[in-house]
Amino acid sequence: MYRNTYALIDLDTLKNNVKDIVSKYPYKYYIGVVKANAYGHGDYVVNSLIEGGINYLAAATLEECLSLRERNNSIPILCLEPIAHKYLNLCESNNITITIPDMDYFKGLDKNLNLKAHIKIDSGMNRLGFKDKNEVKNVVDELNESSIALEGIYTHFATSGMWDKHWDDGLNNFKEITSLIDLSKIPIVHLGRSLTLVQHKMPDFVNGVRPGIILYGFAQKINEPTGLRLIKRNHYLKKNGISPVSLNNDLNLKSAFSLHSEIMCIKDVKAGEYISYGAKYVADEDIKIGVMPIGYADGLSKNNEGLMVKINNKEYPIVGDICMDMTMIKIDNSVKLHDEVVIYDDISKRAKELGVSAYQLLTSVTNRVPRVYKKEDKFTEIKY
């Protein structure tokens, strides 16, 4: 890399996360969701996920799927968004499984293509998917007479159903919309995502799951209520007919992602002088400033101002307005030129400080930042 700013990803941690998930939540198909450049980790990680037990991949766009195919030439890949009909020849030649989201899309399909397809069911989100059981039956019947192999059927739940009936309603909607077909004759039925994986026991007719953020070290755990709070919660669930939800799990997952830079310049700032754009930060005493080659074009939001970074295991605050390419830190005399700066290595903590989700934080680190992959004691740098 030409500037010492990078994201470090521990591949062994990702592999072990998958192993832990697979050992505790038995499914036949683990469809690893690696959209958005594997949640910011980079699609170089997919083979480590496969080593852990992922046996299918899913991404959002054809561009993502084709990039994944370059990483692995054999694992099946599902595109979660509908792909324009004119590009389906690329899916045929690259073994990309398509999603059929509605009747309009199905009518435009060339039924002579040698493709695998999954039907999407709209169980309540009103985003993609069939809502009419007769349409679903017609599609299944026609696919069975075509060259397109009906490999799967799936839906996506809007909530985890911890405090509402939406998960229950979504499951019932799925059952109703698929009631005219024989689900046992469809090889892969997948409903759950990361959150619903750990909080709900899936029905017997389900044999696949789509773990996403959980692969990267994040599985929601909620403190079990006790005493009066437990009584009130149980009453609420019973009153509203809400299915039991597992609030906790025994997964031992770790984040594999950390963001790093360095001190590229040190400046002495006198009391009363200001730092960065807007002249908002004014030194109230003589201080030292370390300048890092990383800014909001790399994924640091303006909200990072005032947050702490680590240099030699000691914390220092970000000061002044974060620039497009550079960020300033208030340092002391122990900090030297080219010292490494760990901007964050605890995704959950930093996301909470910024008031965003782990999803948003991970995917905000742009492709201008090289990814460095650690596997055992070897390091590989990839520029996306």
Highest mean pLDDT among 129-133, 191-195, 347-351: 129-133
**Is residue 199 domain-shared with residue 82, that is, in the same domain?**
yes
**Is residue 192 domain-shared with residue 263, that is, in the same domain?**
no
**Is residue 90 domain-shared with residue 216, that is, in the same domain?**
yes
Any idea what DSSP says for residue 70?
H
Q: How confident is the model at residue 162 (pLDDT cuts 50, 70, 90)?
A: confident
**Alpha-carbon gap, residue 175 to 153, rounded angstroms:** 12
The structure tokens listed for 263 are 């001190």
Residue 243's pLDDT is 83
Residue 112 lies in domain: 11-240
**Alpha-carbon gap, residue 85 to 26, rounded angstroms:** 36
**Is residue 160 domain-shared with residue 209, that is, in the same domain?**
yes
**Is residue 85 domain-shared with residue 170, that is, in the same domain?**
yes
Query: pLDDT tens-digit profile of 205-242?
Result: 999 999 999 999 998 666 666 788 777 877 877 888 88
CATH number of 294's domain:
2.40.37.10
**Is residue 223 domain-shared with residue 274, that is, in the same domain?**
no
**Is residue 261 domain-shared with residue 207, that is, in the same domain?**
no
How crowded is the C-beta side of 35, counted as CA atoms within 13 Å? Answer: 17
- Work out the number of other CB atoms within 10 angstroms of the CB of residue 189: 22
Query: pLDDT tens-digit profile of 78-120?
Result: 999 999 999 999 999 999 999 999 999 999 999 999 999 999 9
Beta-carbon contacts of 238 under 8 Å, excluding residues fewer than 6 positions away, are none
- The helix/strand/coil state of 106 is helix
Classify residue 248: in a domain, yes or no: no
Question: Does residue 52 contact residue 22 with C-beta atoms inside 8 Å?
Answer: yes
**Is residue 154 domain-shared with residue 276, that is, in the same domain?**
no
**Is residue 219 domain-shared with residue 288, that is, in the same domain?**
no
Classify residue 377: in a domain, yes or no: no
CA 150 to chain centre: 27
As beta bridge partners, residue 315 has 310
Beta-carbon contacts of 368 under 8 Å, excluding residues fewer than 6 positions away, are 297, 298
Residue 223's pLDDT is 65
Asked if pLDDT for residue 143 goes beyond 90, the answer is yes
**Is residue 176 domain-shared with residue 301, that is, in the same domain?**
no
Mean pLDDT of the 285-313 span: 96
Classify residue 365: in a domain, yes or no: no
CATH number of 182's domain:
3.20.20.10
Q: What are phi and psi of 113, to 5 degrees?
A: -70, 145
Instruction: Find where tokens 């397809």 sit.
Output: 117
**Is residue 85 domain-shared with residue 233, that is, in the same domain?**
yes
- Nearest residue to 54 via CA among 180, 173, 161, 214: 214
Instruction: Find where tokens 């999803």 sit.
Output: 359
Question: Does residue 32 contact residue 372 with C-beta atoms inside 8 Å?
Answer: no
